[in-house]
């Protein structure tokens, strides 16, 4: 049981004590403020109402919808990483281009985690999902997870239990330790700081 931290402030955590290092991660602007200034563009597939739709990729990270991801995680006993994003989010687009295109990231995530993308600006009923027996929009699920800026990532265990959040942009060097920590089930036995030391040959 662990608690996750940002570099300068403690993050909200549902279970236990995990600390995370956030060095080098630009702080995302709050969702409400950024929505007013950012251009509403996205490379994701869109429907006639201009809302993005999540589709499983044939190559690259295999992003699923929330419902698909929860079902797959249970059947394959894998942890989940949820990417809370928005169609106008510049840092999210940068992560897609720079981090989620890296072969190391793609291979590790596809083999060890279930990747889910939730669009925090999607308020349409046509893309609603199920959470704890309740139907809701993706924007409503974003509020349930107390996401206030994009991107924000939430890690869940295979049963949907919350492990912890990781807010903000992550480059490959920041991202790989996080997914290895969760994907390798190290969060069950050691703190993130201890894991990083061992990973870097210091422990």
Mean pLDDT, rounded, for 65-73:
98
- Residue pair 26/168 in contact by the 8 Å Cβ criterion: yes
Q: How far apart are CA 128 and CA 136, in angstroms?
A: 5
What is d(CA 117, CA 85) in angstroms, rounded to the nearest whole number?
7
- What is the share, in percent, of the chain residues with pLDDT greater than 70? 71
Ranges of beta strands (E only) in 36-191 are: 63-64, 80-85, 114-119, 129-131, 134-136, 152-156, 162-167
Q: Domains for the chain: give ranges and CATH numbers.
A: 31-173 (3.40.30.10)
CA distance 164 to 19: 10
Summarised one tens digit per residue, pLDDT across range 130-182 is: 999 999 999 999 999 999 999 999 999 999 999 999 999 999 999 999 999 99
Average pLDDT for residues 176-196, to the nearest whole number?
97
Query: Has residue 69 got a pLDDT over 50?
Result: yes
Mean pLDDT for the stretch of residues 56-75: 88
Q: What is the mean pLDDT of residues 20-27?
A: 39
* pLDDT of 195 strictly over 60: yes
What integer pLDDT is reported at residue 84 of this predicted model?
A: 98
pLDDT score recorded for residue 59: 80
pLDDT above 50: residue 34: no
- At 14 the pLDDT is 34
Q: Indicate the pLDDT class of residue 202, thresholds 50, 70 and 90.
A: confident
Higher-pLDDT residue of 126 and 11 is 126
Helix or strand run (H / E) with residue 56: none
**How confident is the model at residue 1, as a pLDDT?**
36
pLDDT tens-digit series, residues 72-89: 999 999 999 999 999 999
């Amino acid at each position: 049981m662990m608690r996750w931290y940002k570099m300068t402030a403690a993050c909200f955590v549902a279970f236990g004590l995990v600390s995370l290092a956030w060095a080098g991660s630009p702080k995302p602007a709050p969702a409400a403020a950024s929505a007013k200034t950012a251009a509403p563009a996205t490379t994701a597939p869109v429907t006639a109402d201009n809302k993005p739709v999540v589709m499983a990729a044939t190559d690259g990270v295999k992003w699923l919808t929330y419902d698909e991801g929860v079902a797959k995680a249970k059947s394959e006993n894998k942890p989940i990483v949820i990417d809370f994003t928005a169609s106008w989010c510049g840092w999210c687009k940068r992560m897609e281009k720079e981090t989620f295109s890296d072969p190391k990231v793609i291979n590790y995530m596809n083999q060890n985690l279930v990747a889910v993308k939730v669009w925090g600006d999607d308020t349409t009923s046509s893309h609603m999902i199920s959470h704890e027996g309740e139907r809701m929009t993706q924007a409503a699920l974003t509020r349930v997870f107390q996401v206030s800026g994009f991107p924000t990532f939430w890690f869940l265990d295979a049963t949907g239990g919350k492990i912890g959040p990781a807010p903000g942009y992550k480059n490959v060097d920041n991202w790989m330790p996080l997914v290895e920590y969760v994907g390798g089930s190290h969060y069950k036995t050691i703190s993130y700081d201890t894991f990083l030391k061992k990973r870097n040959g210091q422990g």
